[in-house]
Amino acid sequence: MVSTPHFTRFPDGPASALQALPLPFDSSDRSHILALLRLGDYFQDACLATDTHDHIIYMNRSAERLFGYRHGAALGVPVQTLMPDVELIKSRLDQEPARQTLLWRGKGRHRQSRALPLTGAVTHIPSSSGRSHLYVLRTRKTGGSNEIERQAELASLVYRNTSEGMLVLDPKGIILDVNPAFVSLRGRAESDVIGRHVRCLNSPCHDREFYSTMWRTVMETGSWQGEHWGQHANGELYPEWLSINTSFGPEGEPQRRVMIFSNIAEIKQAEAMIWKQANFDRLTDLPNRQMFHDRLEQSIRKARRANGRIGLLFLDLDRFKEINDTLGHAMGDELLKEAARRLSGCARQSDTVARLGGDEFTVLLDDVHEPRDIERLTRSILAELAEPFRLGVETVFISTSIGVTFFPDDATDAETLLNNADQAMYSAKADGRNRSRYFTASMQERAQTRMRLVNDLHLALDQNQFSLHYQPIVDLSTGQVAKAETLLRWHHPVRGLVSPAEFIPLAEETGIIRALGDWVFCEATRQAAEWRQQFQSDIQISVNISPAQLRHEGLDLDFWQAHLNTLGLASEHVIIEITEGLLMDSDDDRIRQQLSAFRQAGVQVALDDFGTGYSSLSYLRKFDIDFLKIDQSFVANLRPGSADLALCEAIILLAHRLGLRVVAEGIETIPQYQLLSGVGCDFGQGYLFARPMPAHAFESLLQTGVDTRPFRDGLA
């Protein structure tokens, strides 16, 4: 029986066979193949497709029945098993131009080894590159005389009952017969068409050229198939799959032609739906990443041909995450929808505005003549998105950062262009957000250096490229070295010494900071234990902790504690330095828990770089901080009577009241030392006393001490 068009079979039929294709067929190849394979689901003929290695990648039900396989059982089987003649057929095909269909007659083999006399057509589809090949075979069994009668009977049964419209033509194209399905499909009576030329069915959607090519193919190869717009007697047009086949007489002369029409409107609709889902963002209705890539590739091809220029904008909404977190995802979605609307409003009809995901958007502009055009666009986007967003009862303000890059000026392929625009966007963020930045070569260079550093960083710990330097922290009242801050150093094999300011952020992003932080802690505390023993010094060792070490799974405190126990070093001799930002994340309970676990274990906590962040004194109380380190930027500008001095004095006063002691960082001059000492600062650290130095140098310092007398002598 002819299989009726059955939509549910379509997704696991040709489309999935196509997905399984590991071949570099491009989209036009693919749609051609899909069209061919789709036939398999509609017709009585056995239909199968093979890949470059002659393995079966698709087989319809008729083929499974013909060759005796269970559903899906023949996938992956070499086609030679079923069709021993296939080599012969292929070698014939190779002499034909690409995509030609060859009619053949030969032998097949049933799964139970029975020989099957077969007749059919095979089509060869090379990929555009010519390196891969797909064969689509359509075949059916031929029979002896009894068989012929039986088949004729069967055919007539099918002809009368199938839901596909069929008509039979003589070789000149005169309609000899139509089946009932045709009558209902086209709404035309038998008497209305029988005896007339088939061109009476031509549809206004196709031109003369279309029909003449179609019939020429039928004359030459015996068959044609493809999409066709059919017209109902009431004038309505609908898409149909049309297939024309020829039966030949004993001398090979055409005797009859059979046309089969199946309505594919539903499938088209489903296809359109699937296509939309695959290519458009459901929230904003904008093209999605996939579609954007297609359009970008297309624009690049066009611009290459026409020597044109393309502009690419990459946008990221500033602080969108905060809105999402505070107002909830539903509001976040509303904001994205509205932002998409405003963005589309700024762009021209011909531009592509897409949403790549999250709060990332792109705008693709073809035919950019003047960079000024872009200037106007970015300005209007920035202004539009800065307007208030009304989300329910809330009014929200956001801004956006835009990166701009051009083809062919900055790059000539899609991926690099997108990377460039992304980098430029980051630089817009780094420059303070709510602005646009053009991509520059130096951005590229920075990004590349960064990437190389990240790679090297992965190896550095294993290859012992890190070491620790120590900088003394001096008790300002006695001049004694009271503590040492541990500062990490990376000796890069090629670049030499790399600053922690450069590599710590990379280590944080890549997660390497966890292993690195453990190493620093173990090494620094080992060193401190050694010094205590060797010099009977009661120096405290201070270790910087990155927020990233405390987030997610957090630190392995048991491991740290066990390490201290083995060293015989009391926790009181260890200080960890954290930054203010970490305390602001205090709704992250884990961080609070870990800090208090440290404190309970006896480890002291110093708040580093105080004054550069939120400088909230209420946090100091909440978190049980022991030391406060005034950032060097305040110390640098200390002068008698200066605002910074007043600020330092106020900080010290308050800190003391809260029971904290204060370390001033970055003391470089005697006046700075004296001023800080004068306002009651407890400790000082800076080049004036000593620069950070390797362990062996620090040992001599431990022995000699820092002589602060000359500075103190000058004190009034």
Spatial distance between the Cα atoms of 443 and 423, rounded to a whole number of angstroms: 7
In this chain, which stretch among 147-155, 181-189, 526-534, 665-673 interacts with ligand C2E, using CB under 6 A?
A: 665-673
| Ramachandran bin of 568, using left for φ above 0, alpha for ψ from -120 to 50, beta for the remaining angles | left
Tokens found for residue 433: 């957000």
- Binding residues with Mg ion: total (CB under 5 A): 5
- For the chain, give the longest Cα–Cα distance: 127
Give the end-to-end CA distance of the chain in Å, rounded to a whole number.
111
In terms of CB distance, is 351 or 608 closer to Mg ion? Answer: 608
Amino acid sitting at position 184:
S
Nearest approach, Cβ of residue 466 and ligand C2E (Å) = 9
Q: How far is the CB of 635 from ligand C2E (least distance, A)?
A: 8
695 residue type, one letter: A
Dist CA 668 CA 689 (whole Å): 8
Per the listing, tokens 């009558």 go with 183
Measured from the CB atom, the residue of 25 and 610 that comes closer to ligand C2E is 610
Q: Which residue bears the tokens 């204060």?
A: 662
Q: How far is the CB of 587 from ligand C2E (least distance, A)?
A: 22
In the set 316, 334, 609, 699, which binds ligand C2E (CB under 6 A)?
609
Residue 666 engages ligand C2E in binding (rule: CB under 6 A): yes
Of the candidates 181, 481, 504, 605, which one interacts with ligand C2E according to CB under 6 A? 504
For the chain, how many residues are written?
716
How many other CB atoms are found less than 10 A from the CB of residue 104? 18
Site for ligand C2E (CB under 6 A): which residue of 247, 448, 467, 499?
Answer: 499
Asked if residue 687 binds ligand C2E (CB under 6 A), the reply is yes
The residue range among 225-233, 427-435, 661-669, 694-702 that interacts with Mg ion, by the rule CB under 5 A, is 661-669
- Token look-up 């470059």 returns 52
Please state, as a whole number, how many other Cβ atoms lie within 10 Å of the Cβ of residue 683: 22
Residue closer to ligand C2E, measured from CB, 295 or 483: 483
Q: How far apart, in whole angstroms, are the C-alpha atoms of residue 192 and residue 200?
A: 10
How far apart are the C-alpha atoms of 62 and 42, rounded to whole Å?
10
Considering only residues 525 to 544 of the shown chain, the ones binding ligand C2E according to CB under 6 A are 544
- Cβ proximity to Mg ion: between 525 and 544 the closer is 544
Q: Which of 501, 568, 704, 713 binds ligand C2E (CB under 6 A)?
A: 501
Tell me whether the omega of the peptide bond preceding residue 408 falls within 30 degrees of 0, making it cis: yes
Supply the minimum distance, in Å, between the C-beta of residue 534 and Mg ion: 25
The owner of tokens 């624009």 is 299
Q: Is 494 in the site for ligand C2E (CB under 6 A)?
A: no
Burial 162-194 (b: 16+ CB within 10 A, else e): bebbbbbbeeeeebeebbebbbebbebeeeebe
Distance CA 410, CA 17 (A): 39
- Closer to ligand C2E by Cβ: residue 260 or 487: 487
- Span interacting with ligand C2E, options 115-123, 154-162, 418-426, 494-502, rule CB under 6 A: 494-502
Which of 40, 222, 332, 686 touches ligand C2E by CB under 6 A? 686
Binding test (CB under 6 A) with ligand C2E, winner from 457, 487, 539, 541: 487
Nearer to ligand C2E, 51 or 609 (CB): 609
The interface region with Mg ion, picked from 360-368, 510-518, 603-611, 643-651 by CB under 5 A, is 603-611
In the list 378, 546, 571, 708, the residue contacting ligand C2E (rule: CB under 6 A) is 546
Closer of 334 and 609 to ligand C2E (Cβ): 609
**580 binds Mg ion, rule: CB under 5 A:** no
Q: Please, what is the minimum distance in Å from the beta carbon of residue 578 to Mg ion?
A: 9
Q: Is residue 668 near ligand C2E by the rule CB under 6 A?
A: yes
User: Measuring CA to CA, how many Å separate 374 from each of 301, 310, 363, 384, 393?
Assistant: 21, 10, 10, 15, 35
The yes or no reply on residue 518 touching ligand C2E (CB under 6 A) is: no
Look up residue 649 and give its two tokens. 């004095």
- Stretch binding Mg ion (CB under 5 A), from 256-264, 402-410, 570-578, 677-685: 570-578
Q: Which of these, 49, 44, 43, lies nearest to 14 by C-alpha position?
A: 49
In the structure encoding, which two tokens stand for residue 139, read together?
A: 């075949």
Give burial (CB, 10 Å; 0-12/13-18/19+) of 494: exposed
CB of 324 to ligand C2E, least distance (A): 29
Query: In the complex with Mg ion, which residue's Cβ is closer, 281 or 577?
Result: 577
Burial class (CB in 10 A: 0-12, 13-18, 19+), 252: exposed
Closest CA to 314 of 450, 431, 437: 437
Q: How many helices (H) and strands (E) does the chain have?
A: 29, 27
The one of Mg ion, ligand C2E, none whose footprint includes residue 64, by CB under 5 to 8 A per kind, is none
Q: Which of 366, 609, 682, 699 contacts Mg ion by CB under 5 A? A: 609
Figure out which of the listed residues 41, 316, 351, 577 binds Mg ion, where binding follows CB under 5 A.
Answer: 577
Tokens 């939309």 locate to 276
Residue 571 Cβ, how far from ligand C2E at the closest point, in Å? 18
Given a contact cutoff of 8 angstroms between Cβ atoms, the answer to whether 26 and 127 are in contact is yes
Strands of 153-264, DSSP E: 165-169, 175-178, 224-231, 237-248, 254-263
Q: Which tokens sit at 531?
A: 């010094």
Figure out which of the listed residues 64, 456, 608, 682 binds Mg ion, where binding follows CB under 5 A. 608
# residues contacting ligand C2E (CB under 6 A): 24
Q: Which is nearer to ligand C2E, 304 or 691 (CB)?
A: 691
Residue 157 and residue 173 in contact, taking contact as beta carbons nearer than 8 Å: no
Site string for ligand C2E, 627-656 (x = CB under 6 A): -----x------------------------
Can you state the angle between helices 695-704 and 513-535, rounded to 10 degrees?
Answer: 30
Q: How far is the CB of 419 from ligand C2E (least distance, A)?
A: 28
Among 544, 546, 571, 677, binds Mg ion (CB under 5 A): 544
Q: Which of 436, 471, 571, 708 binds ligand C2E (CB under 6 A)?
A: 471
- For the segment 227-256, give every residue that binds ligand C2E (CB under 6 A): none
Establish if 694 lies at the interface with ligand C2E (CB under 6 A). no
Least distance (Å) between residue 689 CB and ligand C2E: 8
DSSP character string of 21-47? --S---HHHHHHHHHHHHHHHH-SSEE
Of 456 and 608, the one with the shorter C-beta distance to Mg ion is: 608
384, 378 Cβ separation under 8 angstroms: no
Considering only residues 577, 580, 682, 699, which one is a binding residue for ligand C2E as defined by CB under 6 A?
577
Burial of 417 (0-12, 13-18, 19+ CB in 10 A): buried
Residues near ligand C2E (CB under 6 A): 471, 486-488, 499-501, 504, 520, 544-546, 577, 608-609, 632, 665-668, 685-687, 692
Task: List residues binding Mg ion (CB under 5 A).
Answer: 544, 577, 608-609, 665
